Structure 1
Amino acid sequence: MTVTASITDVARATGVSASTVSRALRGRPGVSVEVRARIVEAAAALGYTASRSASSLASGRTFSIGVIVPYVGRWFFGTVVDAAEHVFSAAGYDVLLYNLGSPDARKRFFTKLPVRKRVDAVLSLLVPDDDEADALRSLGVPLAAIVGEPRPGFTVVGIDDRAGAQSAVRHLVNLGHRRIGMISGDSGPQHWTAPVRRRQAYLDVLSDAGLAHDPALEADGGYTVEGGERAMTELLAASRPPTAVFAQSDEMAMGALRALRLHRLRVPDDVSIIGFDNHELADVIGLTTIAQPVAAQGAQAAGLLVRQLEHARLAPPAHVQLPIRLELRDTTAPPNPRRPQ
């Protein structure tokens, strides 16, 4: 008959308490490097493996984090989730992923709250309305969000969307462009704030530069490559097409580039394009863009949640704003003097 080693056996073999063995094998703080190494070696020699269910029963914790995503298949959200999962996994937590891509799925989630008593914390990549925020706060667990305004009970990690969009449009103005279009998207059922802030920044820079706003130079690209292509085609059909376009995401900018290529127009000789995000393919295609630290936002939010779980007495920050920068590449240049402004 095979005898299974217990945590007490490991503690006895290493001369430490069972709680120290538990912390060491779960990667928790408070154990020196030397002691942790001795415990790991003894556990391996005795064939002991920490039981997740036993740890959960003893601590009242699930060692799981709920992650709420509006569109898990989109590059931005997938990149954030991947970075966050790496941090959670390294700290010993599993991820329960909830993809709320439709209004019905979102309503069901916030009505039933399936994460209750199943997770130790929640990371939200969607912008909750007031009722949804109240529902999440009712869980009584640490909460973090990647997008949206700072709000009580949440640690919000993000960027200054308005400043980023201003930098993009101002770059086009400084190059000498006077007919500047924009490919955007509406906030939709997910209540996104980025499209609203970026559009307002576009309008503000035009106004500051003394340029009249022409509604015909705005088109909805839906934050997808296909939508960006359709929107660029719509802008080209205007009576006076733009000589430069600010796309509110790199994916829409990529679609715009495809539309320009199909219309036999050269970038940036005929039309300049600037995006927003610094997508992993942006450098490959030479796209000028506003670079935001997408993965770092996920890692930062995850790290702050883990910190709250491991050090409950430390008050978390209400808002963490990460830096952005203008990444100059090949798709922007001064307007072609042979084309009308």
Structure 2
Amino acid sequence: MARRKQTVTMWQVAERAGVSQATVSLVLNNVEGNRVAEATRNRVLDAVKDLDYRTNAFAKSLRSGESGMIGFISDEVASAPFAGQLLKGAQLAAWETGNVILSVDTYNEPDLEAAAIDMMRSYRVRGVVYASMYHRLVELPASLDGIPTVIVNAQDRAGTVPSVFPDEELGGYAATRHLIEAGHTRIAMINIQDVDSDLPAGIGRLAGFRRALAEAGIAERPDWIRHGSGIVEDGLEITTALLTADDRPTAIFCGNDRTAWGAYRAIERLGLSVPDDCAIVGFDNHEMIAPYLDPGLTTVELPYEQMARAGLEILLAGGGEQPSRTPIECTLIPRGSVSKAKVPS
């Protein structure tokens, strides 16, 4: 059995450098105004390196009341295939500012969430990023009171803390404008939620779709605005209905990439092709779907990493006097699923 490496103590560092433990502490904590000579400081640092000494960050946080840790509490972000970019962005931004992320996925379990918050309080985190796998309205747990908090990829229903979220309306507008600029005027939309849903994602994307049509002077067709649930099967069923009608669209804006995948399947089953018979634009830029459809799916990318970075900046800056609402632009990713509309013969 391998022997466990013995922990090096500050006393051993002091002995190696030929100084007192107090001098080692002054050097390692970079105490302002200390009068440690440069040569002595270098001896301490050399001893630290030679002995591979590690400071006790937890003990240091108990003494100072601060730590270099930032809590990251989410529903399923860390385990989601594409929303995981939120955690990546938070980790990178934290590292660049001399901090580390303490992350917990709660899977919407209240007991697990409560335990995670208790743990983060015990570690005296500098603040908490409260993140969601999808854009929704959330209610912060009361146990976060007193901890600097920012919500990412969601919005605070009560408006008491800063929120950073995707600009869904601008994304829906960009997707629809792309179709219009390709010459399409017969454009349908398959949304990802019921008409009565309060989820900001579908509400914003539909608002952007309508704004683009209105600006272009294209009359909205209520029968061409359909409501699904964001799954492949809905895309298949609704696209089939739209394209087998006597009066059919030449382009469809799908509220997410899974719906667009279903639209592709419907078009193929009908003996038609993308984009010649029907152009398709999605939303999400799902890394496991959009690049691999044939042709590649033109879609709008959710700004996961940018949202996380913006959230960290707000948190570390103190959040300001008034809770902010910060929409982050979603970028159009052109691929092969849109071509110029055919001129009627």
Query: What is the TM-score normalised by the length of structure 2?
Result: 0.72
The match for 2:309 among 299, 304, 316 is: 299
Alignment correspondent of 1:162: 169
The match for 2:339 among 310, 326, 333 is: 333
Question: Does residue 215 of structure 2 align to residue 213 of structure 1?
Answer: no
Alignment correspondent of 1:21: 28
Structure 1: how far apart are the matches of 2:228 and 2:203?
12
Alignment correspondent of 1:57: 62
SS of 1:171's equivalent in the other structure is helix
Question: Does residue 293 of structure 2 align to residue 289 of structure 1?
Answer: no
Deviations 1:234-254 (A, max 9, x none): 444545332111112234323
SS of 2:218's equivalent in the other structure is coil
- Summarize the alignment of residues 249-288 of structure 1 with structure 2, pairs less than 5 Å apart: 249-280=256-287, 282-283=290-291, 285=293, 286-288=296-298
Residue 203 (structure 1) shift: 2.5
SS of 2:341's equivalent in the other structure is coil
Structure 2: how far apart are the matches of 1:133 and 1:84?
19
Amino acid at match of 2:169: R
Residue 54 (structure 1) shift: 1.6
Q: Decide whether aligned partners of structure 1 residues 69 and 81 sit closer, same or farther in structure 2, where only a CA change above 3 A counts.
A: farther
Structure 2: how far apart are the matches of 1:175 and 1:313?
42
Q: Decide whether aligned partners of structure 1 residues 128 and 240 sit closer, same or farther in structure 2, where only a CA change above 3 A counts.
A: closer
Amino acid at match of 2:206: R
SS of 1:115's equivalent in the other structure is helix
Structure 2: how far apart are the matches of 1:196 and 1:187?
10
Q: Decide whether aligned partners of structure 1 residues 80 and 129 sit closer, same or farther in structure 2, where only a CA change above 3 A counts.
A: closer
Q: Decide whether aligned partners of structure 1 residues 124 and 213 sit closer, same or farther in structure 2, where only a CA change above 3 A counts.
A: farther
The match for 2:147 among 140, 148, 171 is: 140
Structure 1: how far apart are the matches of 2:261 and 2:332?
17
- Summarize the alignment of residues 84-103 of structure 1 with structure 2, pairs less than 5 Å apart: 84-88=90-94, 91-100=98-107
Structure 1: how far apart are the matches of 2:41 and 2:292?
44
Q: Decide whether aligned partners of structure 1 residues 93 and 227 sit closer, same or farther in structure 2, where only a CA change above 3 A counts.
A: farther
- Unaligned segments of structure 2, at least 5 residues: 1-5, 32-38
- Summarize the alignment of residues 174-189 of structure 1 with structure 2, pairs less than 5 Å apart: 174-186=181-193
Residue 336 (structure 1) shift: 3.4
Residue 196 (structure 1) shift: 0.6
Structure 1: how far apart are the matches of 2:40 and 2:186?
67
Residue 205 (structure 1) shift: 3.0
- Given that 1:177 and 1:334 are in contact with CA atoms closer than 8 Å, whether structure 2 keeps it comes out as yes
The number of equivalent residue pairs is: 318
Alignment correspondent of 2:128: 122
Alignment correspondent of 2:13: 9
| Bigger Cα Rg | 2
Question: Does residue 47 of structure 2 align to residue 47 of structure 1?
Answer: no
- Summarize the alignment of residues 189-200 of structure 1 with structure 2, pairs less than 5 Å apart: 192-200=199-207
- Given that 1:7 and 1:48 are in contact with CA atoms closer than 8 Å, whether structure 2 keeps it comes out as no
Structure 1: how far apart are the matches of 2:10 and 2:320?
33
Structure 2: how far apart are the matches of 1:125 and 1:180?
34
Q: Decide whether aligned partners of structure 1 residues 271 and 125 sit closer, same or farther in structure 2, where only a CA change above 3 A counts.
A: same
Structure 1: how far apart are the matches of 2:15 and 2:232?
57
- Unaligned segments of structure 1, at least 5 residues: 25-33
Amino acid at match of 2:260: A
RMSD, aligned CA: 4.2
Q: Decide whether aligned partners of structure 1 residues 258 and 84 sit closer, same or farther in structure 2, where only a CA change above 3 A counts.
A: farther
Amino acid at match of 2:165: G
Amino acid at match of 1:213: R
- Given that 2:106 and 2:112 are in contact with CA atoms closer than 8 Å, whether structure 1 keeps it comes out as no
Amino acid at match of 1:80: L
Amino acid at match of 1:69: D
- Given that 2:117 and 2:143 are in contact with CA atoms closer than 8 Å, whether structure 1 keeps it comes out as no
Query: What is the TM-score normalised by the length of structure 1?
Result: 0.73
Q: Decide whether aligned partners of structure 1 residues 71 and 140 sit closer, same or farther in structure 2, where only a CA change above 3 A counts.
A: closer
Residue 84 (structure 1) shift: 1.7
SS of 1:177's equivalent in the other structure is coil
Mean alpha-carbon deviation: is it higher for 249-258 or for 228-237? 228-237
Residue 332 (structure 1) shift: 1.0
Q: Decide whether aligned partners of structure 1 residues 158 and 64 sit closer, same or farther in structure 2, where only a CA change above 3 A counts.
A: closer
